[in-house]
Every structure is written in C-alpha cells, then in structure tokens.
C-alpha cells in the first residue's frame, strides 16, 4: 500500500527530526547561533554608531563656533562708555543688548554641556558594542567548532536514517513525496495522520459529511485547518 510506505517514510522522518531537535537543543548550538546572529547585525550597528558620532561632533563644532562669535560680540560691550562716546545713544540700549547676548551665551553653554553628555554616552555605547563584538567573535569561533563536533557525533545515525528514507522513497509516488516534503519545509509534522472519529487528530477540525464519505471510500483528504493529509483505516 502506498499509504503504508508513506507512513513508514514519515516514521523514519520522525526519528531524523528527533535527532535534529536533540542537536538544536544543545548548549553548543545555542551559543553558536547566538554569536552568529549578533555578528550578522554588528557591522550595521557599529556603522550606525559611527554615523551618530559624526553627527554629534558636527553639532558640537557648530555650537562652539556660534558660542565663540557671541563671546567676541559681548567683549565689544566691555567698555560701554567708550562706545557711547564714539557712537552716541542711550546706555540702556547697549546694556539690554549685552544682557541678551549673555543670556544667549548661557543657553548655548547649556546646549553644549548637554551635547557633551550625549557624545560621551555615544562613545561609551560604541566602546561597549566593540567589546561585545570581540567577545562574540571569540564565542563564534569556539562554539562553531563545538557545534560541528556535536553534529559529527550524530553523523552516522543521521546517515543511516537518511539512507533508510531514501530506500522507502522509491516506493512512494514522486508527486506525493514532493507534497510531503513541501509540507515538512513549513515545519509541519506529522504530515500524514489518521482521523479520530470525525475530526483531524492533530488540530481537532471537524470534518464535513462529504469529507468523511471520501475517507470511507479509501481516499485521503487535506485538513482545511492545518493542511495535513488525513486518512482513515478500514
């Protein structure tokens, strides 16, 4: 029976899946995967921090330039009596202008101090990211080798199961085998299962009268809910 061969194939596939899950659950694999994921994103993160540092530095230089210009202007007001003597006018006007410039300078000084804090924080973040990257590079190298050793320790078992599956596959129609493999790529397991009463045994979807009739005739159907292949033994 083709169905029996497909079920045999699925049983072997289940054993292979169990071995793969065992490998995936090891600390070696988790550490390796964690380091790899970090290192994949590290260049982008460091580049973003570099760009942020450049932007903050540019803002700092602009504020410093503006501060220096205002400070030079304020120095011109140091001798108000001489300015009034040369240009004329009320001293109150010049005092008001000097006060406004002083207020602007204080505001700029506060902005500069805040910006310095942001620059220091960005620098600390960059240094932390660099240290993390170096640590993850070491972890990646170490656990890549350990993970490879774990996989190698299961290599014979995996090879034996895969050989068994290849042999069984010869008795399964190509279209059905391809359909099975496509569903497995979607992380679906088991792919083929027997119904329980009038429901899918995996997701519990209730089958229609027409579907039950089709199953009773010896045909397989696909569950509308979980898309597994359903069958009913006579």
What are the structural domain ranges in the chain? 2-162, 190-231
Spatial distance between the Cα atoms of 196 and 231, rounded to a whole number of angstroms? 10
Spatial distance between the Cα atoms of 168 and 72, rounded to a whole number of angstroms? 89
Stated pTM of the model:
0.70
Digit-by-digit pLDDT tens for the chain (234 residues) are 788 999 999 999 999 999 999 999 999 999 999 999 999 999 999 899 889 888 988 888 888 888 888 777 777 666 655 555 555 455 666 667 777 878 888 888 888 888 888 899 989 999 999 999 999 999 999 999 999 999 999 999 999 999 999 999 999 999 999 999 999 999 999 999 999 989 999 999 999 999 999 999 888 999 999 999 999 987
Question: How many residues can be counted in the chain?
Answer: 234
List Cβ neighbours of 59 (8 Å cut-off, separation of 6 or more): 115
Q: Which listed CATH number (3.40.1000, 1.10.287, 2.60.120, 1.20.1260) goes with 2-162?
A: 1.10.287
User: What pLDDT does residue 12 have?
Assistant: 97
CA torsion through residues 11, 15, 21, 24, sign: negative
């Amino acid at each position: 029976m083709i169905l029996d061969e497909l079920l045999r194939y699925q049983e072997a596939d289940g054993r292979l899946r169990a071995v793969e899950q065992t490998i995936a659950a090891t600390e070696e694999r988790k550490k390796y995967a964690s380091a790899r994921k970090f290192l994949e994103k590290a260049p982008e993160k460091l580049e973003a921090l570099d760009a942020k540092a450049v932007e903050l530095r540019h803002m700092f230089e602009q504020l410093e330039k503006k501060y220096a210009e205002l400070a030079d202007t304020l120095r011109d007001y140091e001798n108000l009596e001489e300015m009034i003597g040369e240009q004329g006018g009320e001293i109150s006007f010049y005092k008001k202008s000097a006060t406004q410039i002083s207020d602007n300078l204080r505001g700029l000084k506060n902005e500069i101090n805040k910006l310095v804090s942001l620059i220091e924080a960005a620098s600390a973040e960059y240094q932390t990211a660099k240290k993390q990257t170096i640590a993850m590079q070491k972890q990646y190298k170490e656990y890549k080798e350990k993970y490879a050793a774990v996989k190698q320790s299961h290599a014979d078992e995996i090879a034996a199961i895969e050989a068994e599956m290849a042999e069984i596959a010869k008795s399964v129609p190509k279209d059905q085998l391809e359909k099975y493999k496509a569903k497995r790529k979607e992380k679906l397991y088991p792919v083929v299962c027997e119904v329980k009463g009038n429901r899918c045994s995996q997701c519990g979807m209730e089958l229609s009268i027409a579907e039950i009739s089709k199953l009773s005739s010896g045909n397989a159907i696909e569950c509308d809910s979980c898309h597994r292949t359903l069958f009913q033994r006579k």
